[in-house]
Chains A and B, each alone.
Chain A
Amino acid sequence: MTQTIVDLDRSAREYNDAVKTATQRLIVCAGTGCVANGSLKVYEALKEQIAQAGLNVIVDLSVHDDADESVLLSKSGCQGFCQMGPLVTLEPDGILYTRVRAQDAAEIVQETLLHGRIVERLLYVDPNTREHCPRTEDITFYKRQSRTVLRQCGSVDPENIGEYIAKGGYSAARKAFTEMKPESVCEEVLHSGLRGRGGAGFPTGKKWDLTRVQPVEKKYVICNGDEGDPGAFMDRSVMEGNPHLLLEGIMIAARAIGADEAYIYVRAEYPLAVGRMRKAVADATALGILGDDVFGSGQTLTCHVMEGAGAFVCGEETALIASIQGQRGMPSPKPPFPAQSGLWGKPTVINNVETLATVPLIVNMGALEFRQRGTESSPGTKTFALTGHVANTGLIEVPFGTTLREVVFEIGGGVTDSTGGIDPEAFKAVQIGGPSGGCLTAEHLDLPLDFDSLRSVGAMVGSGGLVVMNKETCMVGMARFFMQFTQNESCGKCVLCREGTKQMLALLDNIVNGEATLETLDILQRLAVAVQKGSLCGLGKTAPNPVLSTLRYFRAEYEAHVIQKRCPAGQCKALVPMWIDPALCKGCTACARKCPVGAISGDKKQPHQIDPDVCIKCGACVAACKFNAIVGA
C-alpha cells in the first residue's frame, strides 16, 4: 500500500483539523434553484453578520487560526425542498430555515447562533397540522423520504474534496481497487440487483460483466449526465451537490471492467454541474486519487468532462458516443451494443449519474444490506423530481415500492388547485417519466412504484420526473406538449420517429383545435404503435408513450375533443366553451335573440347563460353584446 492511501487519511485529517473549532455550522443551499432565488446573497450576508457579531467564521478551510470556537459557514448542493428555498440548515441541531432572505441574516446570527433561539417565522409550517417544524426530521416532506444517494447532497460542500474524504469518501473506491478483483466488483453489483436509473432499468452488474469479458484491452466508462427530460433535475443535483460521490462510482466502474479512461458527459445547460465536475476531477487528480497507479493497483484512470451541445437525443447512449466522437449526435442500430463496441469502437460501459452514484454505497454496505430497501425486482431507492400541482415540490428520494399515494399525498403534501390551496378532490393524474413516460391515474394510487409494476400498466420509471396534475389539466394538451418536445428533439434519422412524431403532433394539433374526428383517434393510435415498435432508438420508441397512455386512461377526454369539440378541463383555447360573465351581463337579451341555435337562456335584466352542449361557437352573441360580457370565442 502506497503514497495514495496515506494521502487519503491525510486529507481527512487536514479537513478535520481545519474544522475542529467549529461548534456550529450554517449550510446555505447553493443548488441551482436556491441560487436562482438569491441564496448566494444570503451566504454573503451571513458571512458579514457572523463576523460583525464578533464570532469567528470559517469560510476558507485553507486558512487556519487559533480561535477556540468558530462557526463554519459553507454551501451545499440541493437540499431538496426547492419549493421553500432559499434554504439554510443549521448543525448540529438540524434546524431548517426556509425562504431565507439576505435581510434575515442578522436575526439568524443574533438569535440562533448567539443565543440558541429559533426564528419561528423562518420555519416551515405544515399546511395540514399548521405546526411549525424546526428540524428537517419534523417535516413530512423529509421524514417519509429515504435520502440515500442524496444523503450528503444537502450538507457537504461540493467543492471540498477534504470534507468528502473525511466523511468516508473514496473508501469504496479504495476497497474496489485494493481488496477486490474486477470480477468480484461486477458480482457484488450484480447481486445487489442495482438497475440502471436512466430509464431502461437494465441490471448494472450484468452490463458491467458483459463489458469486462470483452477480449479488448482498451475500454471506456462513460457517465451519462445529459438529463434531457424537461423538469428533471435529479442528476443535476447529484453532480452539483456531491460530485465526488459520482466520481467514486465512476472509478469503481472503471475498476470493474478494466477501463483506463472515463468521460463524464454533462449537458451544456448545466454550467454549474460542469464546473463542479471539472473541479472534482482536478482535485482528485491533484491528490493522486485519479491518474497513474490508482491506490497502488497499477491501473491508470483519467477522467474527461465533456459538455453536450443542446440535444435531448444525445442522452441516448449511441448518440452520446457519436457526440463524444465529434460526429452528428445520431443513434446507431443496436447490436452491436456499447458493451462490445462503443466509444471509438471499444467496449464501453455507459451508465446514468444516479446509477453510478449508488455504486459506492453498495460497495461499502454490501449487496445484502442494499437489498434491504426497495422491492425484490427493484432494490434500493430512486430519486424523483416532484413537480406540478402538488404542495411540496422538490427533489425527493424514496425506496422502490413506495406507493404513489405516499409520494403525492404524504411527501408531496397533497394536490393543489388553481388557487394553490390543497384540495383533496383535485387529483387527476401523475405523469411519470417525462416525455417518454405514461400517466398514472387514481386507480394506480396504491401501485408500488418500481420498474416492473410500472411497466405492467404502460408507464415507466424513466429518469424520475413526476408531474402531478389536477383536474384543470387537459390530458390531451399534456400529451401534445410532450409530443412537441420529442418532435423538436428528434434527430431526424429514422423515418418513423422523424415523420411519425411530426404527424402525431399534427394530429394532436387537429384534436386540440377542434378539427379532428373519431378517425383521427384511430390513425393516431395506429401511428403511435408503429412509431413505438419500429423506431431506431429509445427517443422514438418512447415518444408515443404519453399519447398511448392518455388514450388508454382518458379516452373520454379525447372523445369530448373530437365529438363535442369541447375541452372538459377548459384548457384548449379553441375549445373552451363560451361563457357569459354574470358580473358584466345586463340581461339585455340581445345575445339570446341573435343566437341561431337557441343556446342562450335567461330572464330580462338577469344574467344569461349559454348551454355549452347546444352552442356551436359561431360568435354571433359576442358580436351582439355591447357589454363585452361574453368570453371564449
Chain B
Amino acid sequence: MKDPGFVTVDGRKIPIEGEANLLELIRKANIDIPTFCYHSELSVYGACRMCIVDLQGRGIVTSCSTAPEPGMVVKTNTEEVREMRRIALELLLANHDRSCPTCPKSGVCKLQDLARRFGIDDIRFQSTQPELPIDHSSPSLVRDPNKCILCGDCVRACSEIQGIGAIDFINRGSQVTVAPAFGKDLNAVECVHCGQCAAVCPTGALTPRSEIEDVWKSLGDPDKIVVAQIAPAVRVALGECFGMEPGTVAMGQIVAALKALGFDRVYDTCFAADLTVIEEGTEFIKRAEAGKRLPQFTSCCPAWVKFAEQYYPELLPNLSSCRSPQQMFGSLAKTVLPDELETDRRNIVVVSIMPCTAKKFEATRPEFSVGEVRDVDHVLTTQELARMIDGAGIRFTRLQPESLDLPLGFKTGAGVIFGNSGGVAEAVLRFAAEKLGGVKLQSADFPIVRGTEGVREATVAIGGQELKLAVVHGLANARKMAELAKHGQCPYQLIEVMACPGGCIGGAGQPIATEFDAKARRTESLYAVDKTLQLHKSQENPYVARAYETTLQEPGSEPAHHLLHTHYHSRKRIQDEDISLLDGGKAERVKVRVCVGTSCFVRGSQNLLRQVLDYVEEHGLSQRVDIGATFCLERCDRGPSVAVGDKVMEKCNLQMVVEALDQVLAQTEA
C-alpha cells in the first residue's frame, strides 16, 4: 500500500486519508476545530474565520478551504490564532441578540457554545446595528435576523440542497442581512417550509415555530380528547435530547411520556403509512396498467408537494393523489374515533409528533379541514416534544415503557421504514410485488432502493415486468427528475421524493445532531425496527384491513377518495389575477386576456389592451366579448401575448386579435 502522506498537527503526525480539507483531517486527530460556516454537505464558504490555523510557510489560513498536502506543518492553537478567534467571537457577540435564556436555541447554540469554550468574558466592542423585526409569517419557521451571524449556511442549504434559494444575502458591508427577496416575509415567497435552513443554522436565527403552548391548552381543556400520532423518524431520535445514543428506539418511553403529559390516546403514524402504501400502491398499479400519468411521484412530503405546485404545476397530475400518512391519520381518526371514544368529532384534538417543519404547513392546508376544524390540529416537532417533556419535569430515561393504543397504533415494518429515504419506495414495492406478482414474497427486503446518494435508481422484476424506480432526496435532485418528466424523458415509473437529506430522519424538527453519524444511525435503527416486528407488509396489517371493512370499503373507492386523497393546485403565479374590464354581457362571453406582465408591458401590451377595448366598443361587441388584463402567460420573451379563448398568441398586434376574435365569434354564432 502506498505510504500515505502526513500532516503534522500540533506536533503529531496525522495520515492523509482522502480528506478534502485540513479541517476534516484535524477533526480526525480529535481536535474539534471550531467553525460556524463549514458544513460537510454544503459548499465551502470560508466566511466565519473561526477554523483558522497557522500553516507553516503560509501563515494564517482557513482550514476548511485548504487541501491537505504531505509535509504540511499545522498549529491549531497559537496565541495569534487564539487572539483572532477571540476577536471574531467578540465581534459577532457585539451585535448579537444576547437574550440566551429566552432563546429556543439555548443549550444547542453554536455561538453560545464557542463563547463558552473560548472563555469569552468581555465584549470590547459596541453594538452598532439597529434591531430588525422578527418574521413570524410562516406556520413552520421563525426568522430572527438579530440572531443571525451571517454564516450563509441557510442560504447555501436552500440554494444547493433544495435548489430554491428562497433566502439570500441582501445589501452590503455592515448592512448585510439574510432575507427573502425584496424584504418580503418568508411566507410570501417560495419557501417550501422544509426547514433545512433551520437545521443548519448554528444560532437561533432560524428555528421551527413552536406550538407547545397550543398543545398545553388543549391538554388542559377538560372537554377535549387529545390523541397523538408519532412519526417513524421520531422514535429513533427523540432519545438524543435526553442523552441517549442516536438511533436508540425509545418508543416505549415516548408513549409513557405522552401519557404522562395528559394525552388520552397515543397512536402511530406508521399505521397510516401502511394505509398510504395500500392506497398509493393500488393507484400506481392502475396507472401502470393504463400506461397513464407516469411517472408517479410520491406525495407524502409536503415540501415536495409545494415545490411541485410552484415550479411544475404541469406535473401535478403525476403526483400521487394520496394524502400523507399524517393527514390520512387525521382524517381517518376524526371519522372513526368519535364512535370509538364515544364523543363528538369536535372534541377530538389530533396532535402529530413529527421530525418535520413542513408538516406544520401541511396541517394548515384548506383541503385538510372539515368545516373550520383541521384534521390535524397541532404539529409538534421532535424537539418541541422533548421540551414539553423537560418542561413537565418528566425524567424521560427513567420512564417505564408503555404500549401504543389500538387500533390506530398497530403497524407493520413497511410503515416504519417511511422515515428513511427509500423507505416509501420499498414499502410500496412490498405491496406491489405481491399484488402484481401474485405470489407471496420470500423476503420483504428490497435493499436495492436503500442508500445515501441523492439520486438512486433501481430496476425490479415484478410479475413478469420490469419496474424502474428512482429515489431522490434533496429538492435539487427532485428538480432533476421533474425536468426529465416535464420533457417526456423520464425512464422511471415510480419516483420517491424526500426534501430532507436522508429522508425524514434528517428533518428540521429532529434534535440537532451532536454525533457526525447520527443520521446514519437513525436510518439503521429504523430498518432494525422493521426487522423486529412480526409483520413487514402493509397488506398484512389487520387493523388496516378492518378500517377498509368498516369504513373505507376498498382501496381507491369513493369513501377512500373522500377521506384519504386530495388535490393540488398551481402556485406558479399569483392566482386569480384576471381583471375583467367590461361589465355585463352574456355569461358565455368570449374571453380575451391581454398579458400585462412586465415583459409584455415593455413590449407594448398596455397599448394593445387599449386598442382592443376601443375595437370592442366601436363594434358593439361588449355583450359577447369579455376583455381582461391578466398576469403572465409565460411567453415573456415573445410578447405581447394575448389569449383569445383558449388560443394564446405571441408577438401579438391588434389585427391578430381581431382575426382570432372574428373566428371564435363566428363559431359561437353558428
User: Contact residues of A with B, CB < 8 Å?
Assistant: 311, 328, 330, 332-333, 335, 487-496, 498-503, 506, 523, 526-527, 530, 533-536
Interface of B with A (CB < 8 Å)? 44-49, 52, 59-60, 62, 64-67, 80, 83-84, 87-88, 91-92, 94-95, 124-126, 128, 149-150, 152, 168-169, 171-176
Closest partner residue, chain B, to A533 (CB atom) = B60
Q: Check B125–A495 contact: CB distance below 8 A.
A: no
Query: CA–CA, A526 to B149, complex, Å?
Result: 22
- Taking CB atoms, residues of chain B closer than 8 Å to A526 are 83, 87
Q: Given that A530-B84, A534-B52, A534-B60 are known contacts, is A492 also in contact with B174, CB under 8 Å in the complex?
A: yes
Q: Is the CB of B84 within 8 A of A534?
A: yes
Q: State whether A534 and B46 are in contact (beta carbons under 8 Å apart), knowing that A499-B94, A499-B174, A503-B94 are contacts in the complex.
A: no
Give the complex CA separation of A353 and B45 in angstroms: 29
Across the interface, B46 reaches (CB within 8 A) one of A487, A494, A499, namely: A494
Which partner residue on chain A sits nearest B58 by CB separation? A335
What are 23 residue pairs bridging A and B, where the CB atoms are less than 8 Å apart in the complex? A328-B168, A330-B169, A333-B62, A333-B64, A335-B67, A490-B172, A491-B176, A492-B169, A492-B176, A495-B48, A495-B49, A499-B92, A499-B125, A500-B87, A503-B125, A530-B84, A530-B88, A533-B60, A534-B60, A535-B49, A536-B47, A536-B49, A536-B62
Measured CB to CB, the closest approach of chain A to B533, in angstroms, equals 49
Are the C-beta atoms of B59 and A492 separated by less than 8 Å?
Answer: no
What 9 A-B pairs come out closest when comparing CB atoms?
A492-B176, A333-B65, A499-B91, A333-B46, A490-B173, A530-B87, A502-B174, A534-B84, A494-B47
B87 contacts A527, C-beta separation under 8 Å: yes
A503 near B126: Cβ-Cβ < 8 Å: yes
Measured in the bound complex, the distance between the Cα atoms of B172 and A311 in whole Å is 9
Does A495 contact B174, Cβ atoms closer than 8 Å? no
B176 near A498 with CB under 8 A, answer yes
Which among A330, A494, A495 has the greatest number of chain B C-beta atoms within 10 A?
A: A495
Interchain CB contact (< 8 A) of B91 among A487, A493, A500, A536:
A500
**CB-nearest residue of chain B to A523:** B124
- A332 to B80, alpha carbons, bound, how many Å? 23
The interface centre, meaning the residue of B47, B64, B91 with most chain A CB atoms within 10 A of its CB, is: B47
Tell me the nearest residue of chain A to B67, going by C-beta: A335
A330, chain B: closest CB distance, angstroms: 8
Residues of B within 8 A of A498 (CB): 150, 173-174, 176
Q: Which residues of A contact B175 (CB under 8 A)?
A: 492
Is B46 within 8 A of A533, CB to CB? no
A-B contact count (CB 8 A): 104
Which residues of B are found within 8 Å of A490, using beta-carbon distances?
Answer: 172-174
CB nearest neighbor in B for A492? B176
Q: Are B65 and A335 in contact (CB under 8 A)?
A: yes
| Contact residues in B for A533 (Cβ distance below 8 Å) | 59-60, 80, 84
> A288 CA to B92 CA in the complex, in Å?
56
- Are B49 and A534 in contact (CB-based, < 8 A)? yes
Chain A residues positioned under 8 Å from B91 (CB to CB): 495-496, 499-500, 503
- In angstroms, Cα B86 to Cα A530, docked, is 10
CA distance A500 to B124 in the complex (A): 12
Chain A residues within an 8 Å CB radius of B88: 495-496, 499, 530, 534
Contact of A489 among B44, B59, B64, B173 (CB under 8 A): B173
User: Quick one: closest B residue to A520, CB to CB?
Assistant: B124
Min C-beta distance of B290 to chain A, whole Å: 45
A509 → chain B closest CB, angstroms:
10
Name, among A311, A503, A506, the residue most crowded by chain B CB atoms within 10 Å (CB to CB).
Answer: A503
Instruction: Provide the bound-state CA to CA distance between A491 and B150, in Å.
Output: 12
- Residues from chain B with a CB closer than 8 A to the CB of A496 are 49, 84, 87-88, 91
Task: Give CA–CA (A485, B87) in the complex, Å.
Answer: 22
Give A499 to B47 CA distance when docked, in angstroms. Answer: 12
Closest approach, in angstroms, between the C-beta of A475 and any C-beta of chain B?
23
Greatest chain B CB density within 10 A among A491, A499, A536 is at A499
Q: In the complex the two chains form, is B172's CB within 8 Å of A495's CB?
A: no
Residues in A whose Cβ lies below 8 Å from that of B150 = 492-493, 495, 498
Question: In the docked arrangement, what's the CA distance between A330 and B150, Å?
Answer: 13
A66–B638 Cα gap in the complex (Å)? 53
Report chain A residues within 8 Å CB of B152.
493
For residue A523, which residues in chain B have a CB less than 8 angstroms away from its CB? Answer: 124
Across-interface contacts of B60 in A (CB, < 8 A): 533-534
Q: Are the C-beta atoms of B95 and A499 separated by less than 8 Å?
A: yes
Complex Cα distance, B124 from A526, in Å, reads 11
- CB nearest to A500 among chain B residues: B91
**Shortest distance from the beta carbon of A612 to any chain B beta carbon, whole Å:** 29
Contact of A495 among B47, B66, B67 (CB under 8 A): B47
- The reply to whether B65 and A492 form a contact with Cβ atoms under 8 Å apart is no
When distances are taken between beta carbons in the complex, the residues of chain A under 8 Å from B174 are 487, 490, 492, 498-499, 501-502
B62 partner residues in chain A, CB cutoff 8 A = 333, 536
Q: List the B residue with the shortest CB-CB distance to A494.
A: B47
